[in-house]
Amino acid sequence: MILSLFTAPENADAPPPAAEGAAEAAADVVAAVSQAPLPPVETAHPWALPTAASTFAEDTDNLYLFITALDTLFFVLIMGAMGYFMWKYRRRSKDQKTSSITHSGVIEFLWSAIPTVLLLVIFVWGECDFVRQSVAPADPLEVRVTGQKWYWTVEYPKYPGVSLNSSTEEPALTLMVPKGKPVRLTMTSTDVIHSFFVPAFRVKRDVVPGRYTQIWFEATRIGEFNLFCTEYCGDFHSNMTGVVKVLEPDDFERELIKAGVLTQDEGESMAAYGERIYKRRGCVACHSVDGVDGTGPSWKGMYGRTESLSDGSSVKAEDQYIKDSIYEPNKQVVAGFAPQMPSYQGQLDESQVTAVIEYIKTLK
């Protein structure tokens, strides 16, 4: 019962009827600030442990609660003893002399030996969990994760052509995994150090340029869970959030292909397709469509404009320049911006680039 105090409410599932009013009110607030990053999918109390949704959660939480209980016990013992001695040995008169006290060998031995044993218990317990969480079981689902300022790209070697990105706009789906199957992430960064953190799974590891790091987990609950970048990586670090969706294994493959393959729908205009690409492939992380410049120039009113470049020359922002900027972004950088856009060579094909250009044309 005490433990339930430390457990987050079951919020990945449907809210109970009584909470519906509150949920609606929250939805109104969210709608009012549509420009802000999406709210986290799990709500959590600051004093509670996050939702538990992987096989690691129970072990990790048990160790955490053990350490917290130990801390509490020693806090009470030490503060209690201190208060008691302050009272017992208080100065009783102005000319009172301090009595001569040497030491107690037994007490000194105990206050060294007991903490040593307790720390060894914590170390061995933590080490066992660490080893178990470091080595994935045989035949996991392989996932490739790339971090870059300021979004995630997720690819599945077993499903070529499938690619998911984090986005501050809907759909925010970033990683999709089946329930009850081990998943191994192999991660790297194209620029600075990021860190991949899914609190509900209790997994967190740095994502480092020039090297691969790995984590694995096995999800135990259907639902949507928060993903954070948890290493300060620059201006829009706080936008580098995402959603991890856990599905029944039977639905996983079908849903993944539906969500991860970006093709023009039947009857969809090029511009509308381009807008989906803008939201789904990370463009939105740096280019606004409302005229406010971010890390890159806003796309509003950009098409046809003459841009001054950082090398002093100028260029008209039309099809050729936009296409070049997508494939070789740091060749002709607009004056006032840092050359830090990643190349989309191999990530967007010709027709997708055309769609993006058509979308930009509509942003007058």
Q: Which residues make up the interface to ligand CUA (CB under 6 A)?
A: 147, 150, 194, 229, 231-233, 237, 240
Minimum CB–partner distance for residue 143 and ligand CUA (Å): 18
Cα–Cα dist 302/290, whole Å: 11
- Residue 306: partners with Cβ closer than 8 Å, 6 or more residues away: 314, 315, 316, 317
Cβ nearer to ligand CUA, comparing 181 with 237: 237
What's the closest the beta carbon of residue 174 comes to ligand CUA, in angstroms? Answer: 13
Interatomic CA distance for residues 140 and 34, integer angstroms:
38
Q: How far is the CB of 202 from ligand CUA (least distance, A)?
A: 19
Q: How far is the CB of 207 from ligand CUA (least distance, A)?
A: 8
3-state helix, strand, coil in the chain (%, to 5): 35, 20, 45
C-beta of 209 vs 291, nearer to ligand CUA: 209
**CB nearer to ligand CUA: pick between 163 and 239:** 239
Decide whether 190 or 347 has the Cβ nearer to ligand CUA.
Answer: 190
When the beta carbons of 55 and 188 are compared against ligand CUA, the nearer one is 188
| Closest distance of CB 209 from ligand CUA, Å | 11
**Alpha carbon distance 122, 238 (integer Å):** 33
> Min. distance of Cβ 73 from ligand CUA in angstroms?
37
Instruction: Give Cα separations from 100 to 97, 103 (angstroms).
Output: 9, 10
Taking the C-alpha atoms of residue 325 and residue 317, their distance in angstroms, rounded to an integer, is 10
Question: How far does CA 179 lie from the centroid of its chain?
Answer: 19
Tell me whether residue 147 or residue 297 sits nearer to ligand CUA (CB atom): 147
H-type alpha helices, the chain = 20-32, 57-88, 105-134, 249-260, 270-280, 319-327, 350-361
